[in-house]
Amino acid sequence: MAKFHESVEPCALCASQEYKKVAIEAGHDIFRCRRCGLVQVRPLPRETSDSNKSYWQVDFDVPAIQEARLGSQLVYSYGLRRLKELTGATLAGQNVLDVGCGMGLFLEIAKGQAANPYGIDIAGSAAQFAETHVGIDTVKVGAFETADFPAGYFQLITGWNVLEHTSAPGRWLAKAYRLLADDGLLLIKVPNVRFSALMSKLAPVTRALGLATMSYIATRPPLHLYGFSPNTLRKILEAAGFEVLTVEGAPVRESWGIKGAILEHLTKFLARLTGGLLDYQVVIMAVARKRKTDELA
């Protein structure tokens, strides 16, 4: 029987309050919307911003942190290659905004490809690192949803593992839509909740094997608040007005090593073999386009 939870916020995608509880982690309830399938923490924790800021309370000079910073180069390269294959777009001369830019590795890559790179992050220490070590003085500190960038200014906005952190993904996407020029592109990468939920259920097995366990939504709340599948990621982008060009698996971070590479290839093969029915790829990436004004008329 359907169960309504009138005391918590409605679904961030379809506004239903008809949920199924799928996990309890760190004192937070994780639900799946029975109507649209979006996985979300309800009620939303109040400490979200502080939790995200604490992610960057690290010593940037520690070698392990520098190695972790460089661990996404393959992911970024893949995203830009797919962007070009799908749209023909290159970064040269384009205004590019990286939301949740962290230590600025993607900004550094964009700068190297002759883009005009801009960044924003809620953690001042990470933004300062990007400015000091990458030489980019166009990084803002603060929340993306209230940032004062001019409307229609960017040709590309990226969010690499950001959307699952935000308390209101619909509002985040609406902001991105306003800041993009007509035909502007959005590139989003998030954990695949189908994979993380499966790994969470297999926790007794992985623990017995001496392996790390995983949250139902990849990282325990309040750091992660949403779990997106290929289907719900597509739906929430379309609800924000975007034309979705692709939702597909993406490489895992190089820091996962050989085990990550093997897992990536196995899950990708399984998804292709079953036509997406068994899509347990570790991470998923979407490329979407802001339609021209005359296309919406």
Tell me whether residue 205 is in a domain: no
The DSSP secondary-structure symbol of 42 reads S
Tell me whether residue 1 is in a domain: no
Q: Does the structure show a pLDDT above 70 at 294?
A: no
Q: Is the peptide bond before 191 cis (omega within 30 degrees of 0)?
A: no
* DSSP secondary structure letters along 79-119: HHHHHHHHH----TT-EEEEET-TT-HHHHHHHHTT-EEEE
Q: How far apart are CA 26 and CA 22, in angstroms?
A: 14
Query: Nearest 5 degrees, angle CA 94-CA 118-CA 185?
Result: 50
Task: State the angle between helix axes of 230-239 and 169-179 in degrees (0 to 180), rounded to the nearest 10.
Answer: 50
Residue at 139: amino acid letter: V
Tell me whether residue 209 is in a domain: no
At residue 129, the pLDDT reads: 82
Tell me whether residue 117 is in a domain: yes
At residue 256, the pLDDT reads: 64
Percent of the chain at pLDDT exceeding 70: 86
Residue 101 near residue 121 (C-beta atoms within 8 A): yes
In Å, what is the CA distance from 154 to each residue of 178, 193, 252? 10, 30, 27
pLDDT tens-digit map of 48-64: 655 555 555 554 555 55
Tell me whether residue 105 is in a domain: yes
The DSSP secondary-structure symbol of 38 reads -
SS3 category, 179: helix
At residue 48, the pLDDT reads: 61
Tell me whether residue 289 is in a domain: yes
SS3 category, 175: helix
pLDDT tens-digit map of 96-147: 999 999 889 999 999 999 999 999 999 888 788 888 888 889 999 999 999 9
pLDDT tens-digit map of 205-237: 878 767 678 999 999 999 999 999 999 999 999
Tell me whether residue 284 is in a domain: yes
CA neighbours closer than 13 Å in the CB half-sphere of residue 34: 10
SS3 category, 274: coil
Q: Provide the mean pLDDT of the chain.
A: 88
Residue 118 near residue 98 (C-beta atoms within 8 A): yes
At residue 1, the pLDDT reads: 47
At residue 246, the pLDDT reads: 97
Kindly state the tokens that stand for 270: 């399984």
At residue 31, the pLDDT reads: 97
Its domain, for residue 268, covers: 47-192+228-296
Number of domains in the chain: 1
Tell me whether residue 261 is in a domain: yes
Find the CATH number of the domain harbouring 285. Answer: 3.40.50.150
In Å, what is the CA distance from 279 to each residue of 103, 181, 247, 267, 269? 31, 33, 11, 7, 9
pLDDT tens-digit map of 177-190: 999 999 999 999 99
At residue 5, the pLDDT reads: 72
At residue 232, the pLDDT reads: 98
